């Protein structure tokens, strides 16, 4: 049944415009040393890490899958400029800038910041290297990582049109029905890998922000008859608006694909326990996760997203919520440029004493 379901999904996706931007498929890594550090087979489930940090575009990350469809849609509409929003260290913004380079398009980023002169490091440095034009707006809520960006985006659209260019606005995080296609396809890829390995995991852990990835993973799991629960770990606040956004864009994506399945709010699982003081602010549990995964698997997590997702997985192993007889998958969504920002360096130095 699963093979038939995946074929149906791939057929539906093949009818959508897509620009090749990512190196796919990404590997599925068996984290045996991390499992040993968490108690070994007697206490810890088998841990598989889906390496979407290795998608290659602009230093890699999950947004490459979404941008393949978003940039193709922009091109199909005759767009010449990509415009998107995010926090000043947004991975999505950095990868949109990289995608614009590959597609031969102009890019304008509207980024929220707590200062008028943020340090030129991490993703912001890469934004500049990729030639993006950056507009800064003040951050109004650290839990949400949002600012008053709508008026600025509207002004940028007007400026681009006045200059004879055609703008295409990508929502924050690429969270739109078109962006959802990326992780519907990513799920098909993962389900095929698991079938080849004859493994049926019980959960898929991932860090959840603007909820476009959640929408794609959850819709993909339903469409592909995946064996696992899609378990999101929130990195910022925003309920119930965000879960409703995920439901809406997932169902819009299903409609565009010509598929009958639909999601309801209970299908979308998001753990709110690991946000800490706010979006992009490292947590102690996240810092421990970064160090543990680095020293066992030589894999790098980031302080904003994947560290908080992995912190949840680690706690669930230690608390016994996950059984040693299970297999779980962790989706590594990338984000390593944030390791080279002053916020993380300072937090890491304080932790080391």
Bridge pairing between strands 146-147 and 133-141: antiparallel
Q: How far apart are the first and last CA of the chain?
A: 54
Give the percent of the chain with pLDDT over 90.
92
pLDDT band of 135, cuts 50, 70, 90 = very high
Mean pLDDT of the residues in the chain: 96
What does the block give as tokens for 188?
Answer: 């098909």
Q: Which of 7-21, 142-156, 240-254 is least confident? A: 142-156
Residue 353 has pLDDT above 80, yes or no: no
The pLDDT, as a whole number, for residue 145 is: 60
The alpha carbon dihedral of 255, 261, 265, 268 has a sign of negative
**Does the fold of domain 63-174 match that of domain 2-61+176-352?**
yes
**251 three-state secondary structure:** helix
The pLDDT, as a whole number, for residue 141 is: 73
- Bond from prior residue into 25 cis (ω within 30 degrees of 0): yes
Rounded to the nearest angstrom, the gap between the alpha carbon of residue 136 and the centroid of all alpha carbons in its chain is 22
Residue 142 has pLDDT above 80, yes or no: no
Residue 147 has pLDDT above 90, yes or no: no
Which regions of the chain does DSSP assign to beta strands (E)? 28-30, 46-51, 81-87, 106-113, 133-141, 146-147, 167-170, 203-208, 229-234, 269-271, 327-332
Give the H/E segment covering residue 32: helix 32-37
Residue 46 has pLDDT above 70, yes or no: yes
Q: Span 63-174: which CATH code?
A: 3.40.50.1100
Greater model confidence, 353 or 190: 190
- Dist. CA 93–CA 203, nearest whole Å: 29
The pLDDT, as a whole number, for residue 1 is: 47
- Dist. CA 74–CA 103, nearest whole Å: 10
The pLDDT, as a whole number, for residue 233 is: 98
The 10s digit of each residue's pLDDT in 181-237 is 999 999 999 999 999 999 999 999 999 999 999 999 999 999 999 999 999 999 999
- CATH for the 2-61+176-352 domain, from 3.40.470.10, 3.40.50.720, 3.40.430.10, 3.40.50.1100: 3.40.50.1100
Give the mean model confidence (pLDDT) for residues 149-171.
Answer: 97
The pLDDT, as a whole number, for residue 2 is: 72
What does the block give as tokens for 30?
Answer: 């068996």
Active site residues: 90
Residue 146 has pLDDT above 80, yes or no: no
- Dist. CA 327–CA 205, nearest whole Å: 11
Residue 16 has pLDDT above 60, yes or no: yes
The 10s digit of each residue's pLDDT in 103-133 is 999 999 999 998 889 999 999 999 999 999 9
- Dist. CA 62–CA 305, nearest whole Å: 11
Rounded to the nearest angstrom, the gap between the alpha carbon of residue 4 and the centroid of all alpha carbons in its chain is 27
Q: What is each CA distance from 245 to 129, 204, 239, 268, in whole angstroms? A: 32, 20, 10, 11
The pLDDT, as a whole number, for residue 351 is: 85
Q: Single out the residue of 63, 68, 78 nearest to residue 160, CA to CA.
A: 78
The 10s digit of each residue's pLDDT in 233-288 is 999 999 999 999 999 999 999 999 999 999 999 999 999 999 999 999 999 999 99
Q: Would you kindly state where each structural domain of the chain is located, as residue ranges? A: 2-61+176-352, 63-174
């Amino acid at each position: 049944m699963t093979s038939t379901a995946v074929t149906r999904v791939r057929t539906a996706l093949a009818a959508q415009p897509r620009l090749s931007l990512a190196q796919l498929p990404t590997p599925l890594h068996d984290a045996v040393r991390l499992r040993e550090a968490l108690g070994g087979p007697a206490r810890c489930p088998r841990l598989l890490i889906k390496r979407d940090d290795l998608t290659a575009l602009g230093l890699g990350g999950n947004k490459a899958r979404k941008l393949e469809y978003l940039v193709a849609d922009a091109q199909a509409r005759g767009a010449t400029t990509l415009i998107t929003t995010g926090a000043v260290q947004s991975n999505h913004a950095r990868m949109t800038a990289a995608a614009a380079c590959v597609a031969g398009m102009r890019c304008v980023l509207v980024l929220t910041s707590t200062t008028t002169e943020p340090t030129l490091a991490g993703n912001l440095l890469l934004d500049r290297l990729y030639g993006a034009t950056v507009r800064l707006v003040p951050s109004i809520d650290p839990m949400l990582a949002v600012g008053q960006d709508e008026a600025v985006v509207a002004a940028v659209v007007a400026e681009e049109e006045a200059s004879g260019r055609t703008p295409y606005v990508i929502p924050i995080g690429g969270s739109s029905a078109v962006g959802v296609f990326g992780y519907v396809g990513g799920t098909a890829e993962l389900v095929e890998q698991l079938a080849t390995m004859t493994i049926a995991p019980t959960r898929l852990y991932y860090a959840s922000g603007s909820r476009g990835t959640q929408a794609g993973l959850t819709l993909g799991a339903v469409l592909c008859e995946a064996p696992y629960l899609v378990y999101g770990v929130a990195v910022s606040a925003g309920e119930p608006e965000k879960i409703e956004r995920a439901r809406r864009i997932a169902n819009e994506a299903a409609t565009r694909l010509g598929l009958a399945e639909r999601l309801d709010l209970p299908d979308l699982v998001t753990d709110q326990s690991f946000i800490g003081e706010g979006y992009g602010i490292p947590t102690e549990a996240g810092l421990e996760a970064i160090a543990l995964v680095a020293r066992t698997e030589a894999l790098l997590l980031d302080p904003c997203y994947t560290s908080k997702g992995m912190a949840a997985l680690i706690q669930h192993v230690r608390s016994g919520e996950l059984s040693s007889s299970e297999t779980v998958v962790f989706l590594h969504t990338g984000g390593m440029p944030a390791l080279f920002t002053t916020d993380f360096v300072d937090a890491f130095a304080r932790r080391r004493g």
